[in-house]
Amino acid sequence: MFKHINNMISIRRAKKDDVKQVYEIYLEFLEEIKKYEPEVTTKHKKKIRAYVLKELKSHKHIFLLAFNENKLIGCIKATINESKPYLIYKKIANFDWIFISKKYRRKGVGVKLTRNMEQLLKDRGVEYCYLNVNIKNKDSISLQSKIGFKKHWIEFRKVLI
């Protein structure tokens, strides 16, 4: 059995001043997903940092950060979009990514981040959310299933070069 550390974790919205820490955890996230996504690279660090800053500044994207004391241990990012005209939901959100540092996994941090994001999205009028998980990422699939997400879609990919 694992120890929940929820009472020691604080969650807050990211600010532009957090770019260094978010960038560092995003690099950690990219390194982790390279084992599932061979097309991912972390070679272009300046471009990745600029991308993170641009996303942090955007009103369309929401980042929530999880801290244990002053150490950033997890992050979740969602993007709010207007729905397609043929869907019954008017406002939808994509959970772009969620990442928890290895030492803090299976301790309730991912659940806490996701629940906080869900509430924030509801408060903004979002009616429906979705996310994509690599089929090989068993930990993430387990987490998403545990918190109520249902398997819905299969994505196919093909490299053309």
Confidence of residue 34 (pLDDT cuts 50, 70, 90): confident
Which two three-digit tokens encode residue 150? 């249902």
Q: Which residues of 123-150 are buried (b: 16+ CB within 10 A; e: fewer)?
A: eeebeebebebeeebeebeebbeeeebe
Res. 2: pLDDT tops 50:
no
- In the numeric block, the tokens 């008017």 are attached to 90
User: Where exactly are the structural domains of the chain?
Assistant: 9-146
Q: How many helices (H) and strands (E) does the chain have?
A: 4, 5
Whole-angstrom Cα distance, residue 117 to residue 26? 18
Give the whole-angstrom CA distance, residue 23 versus residue 53.
Answer: 8
Task: Give the burial string for 44-53 (b: 16+ CB within 10 Å, else e).
Answer: eeeebbeebe
Per mean pLDDT, which of 31-35, 81-85, 89-93 is the most reliable? 89-93
Instruction: Band the pLDDT of 60: cuts 50, 70, 90.
Output: confident
pLDDT at 143 over 70: yes
Dist. CA 130–CA 146, nearest whole Å? 15
Report the CATH superfamily, name and number, of domain 9-146.
Gcn5-related N-acetyltransferase (GNAT) (3.40.630.30)
The mean pLDDT value for 36-63 works out to 89
Return the pLDDT at 83. Answer: 86
Q: How far apart are CA 131 and CA 148, in angstroms?
A: 12
Q: Give the model's pLDDT for residue 39.
A: 87
